[in-house]
């Protein structure tokens, strides 16, 4: 089976972004982080960015059509490349739309990796999460502190009240996406509660055996 198109699923803070970045580096994938692409639009102050800024700050989902526009643009620039979709799809409706969209690009979701993590750990991880705004690199104040001299910030939507809202939305709307891929035999679940290196060794095992 060729694995050119991967989807990374899981609650916020489950390590999707971290492992997508590592796998991109080690196995030649391009990481397509929809949240990151949206944040860039917000920073640029583009029309699309202005449209989504408030929504993102409350932890709610951005409208499907907006997300789809961003994903289509990314796919168009990545023809022939191996990709990891990180943070998309986030609803069964988006998963269906993605299937249609990928057909246009002669792709299909080969494998969906589901990073399973309990809510308690999500809150613990996200409250310590910091990001280097220049490189997008993710750190944790206790487990993976930034090197000296690297200035990091907390994402607006990583505040605890917003994280709880993101988790509610995750359980209600995003979690069923796992069942969607499970039904078609494309889901692999990974216990994301361990340390980064441990979880990453499981990710590599799955990808290299696929």
Q: Determine which helix (DSSP H) or strand (DSSP E) holds 8, and give its type and residue range.
A: strand 5-9
**41 binds ligand AMP, rule: CB under 6 A:** no
Does residue 13 contact residue 117 with C-beta atoms inside 8 Å? yes
Q: Which of 19, 90, 125, 130 binds ligand AMP (CB under 6 A)?
A: 90
**88 binds ligand AMP, rule: CB under 6 A:** yes
Does residue 34 contact residue 85 with C-beta atoms inside 8 Å? yes
Least separation in angstroms between CB 202 and ligand AMP: 21
By C-beta, is 15 or 87 nearer to ligand AMP? 87
Task: Write the DSSP string, 111-137.
Answer: EEEEEE--HHHHHHHHHTEEE-TTT--
Q: Which of 10, 11, 15, 59 binds ligand AMP (CB under 6 A)?
A: 59
Cβ atoms within 10 Å, residue 176: 12
Least separation in angstroms between CB 161 and ligand AMP: 13
**12 binds ligand AMP, rule: CB under 6 A:** yes
Q: Which of 7, 23, 38, 95 binds ligand AMP (CB under 6 A)?
A: 38
**166 binds ligand AMP, rule: CB under 6 A:** yes
Least separation in angstroms between CB 169 and ligand AMP: 8
CA dihedral 102, 103, 105, 109 (to 10 degrees): 40
Q: Which of 9, 32, 35, 95 binds ligand AMP (CB under 6 A)?
A: 35
**122 binds ligand AMP, rule: CB under 6 A:** no
Going through 10-144 in order, the beta strands assigned E by DSSP cover 29-33, 82-86, 111-116, 129-131, 138-140
Q: Which two tokens stand for residue 93?
A: 């409706």
Q: Which of 20, 94, 192, 200 binds ligand AMP (CB under 6 A)?
A: 94
């Amino acid at each position: 089976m060729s694995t050119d198109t991967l989807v990374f699923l899981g609650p916020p803070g489950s390590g999707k972004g971290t492992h997508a970045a590592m796998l991109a580096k080690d196995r030649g994938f391009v990481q397509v982080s929809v949240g990151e692409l949206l944040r860039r639009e917000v920073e640029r102050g583009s029309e699309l960015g202005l449209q989504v800024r408030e929504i993102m700050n409350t932890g709610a989902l951005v409208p499907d059509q907006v997300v789809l526009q961003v994903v289509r643009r990314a796919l168009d620039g990545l023809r022939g490349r191996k990709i990891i979709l990180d943070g998309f799809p986030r609803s069964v409706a988006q998963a269906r739309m993605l299937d249609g969209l990928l057909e246009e690009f002669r792709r299909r979701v080969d494998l969906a990796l589901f990073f399973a993590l309990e809510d308690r750990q999500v809150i613990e991880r996200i409250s310590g999460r910091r990001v280097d705004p220049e490189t997008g690199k993710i750190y944790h104040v206790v487990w993976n502190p930034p090197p000296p001299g690297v200035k990091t910030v907390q994402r607006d939507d990583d505040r605890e009240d917003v994280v709880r809202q993101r988790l509610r939305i995750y359980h209600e709307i995003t979690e069923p996406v796992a069942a969607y891929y499970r039904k078609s035999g494309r889901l692999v679940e990974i216990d994301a509660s361990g340390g980064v290196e441990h979880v990453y060794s499981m990710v590599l095992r799955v990808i290299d055996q696929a």
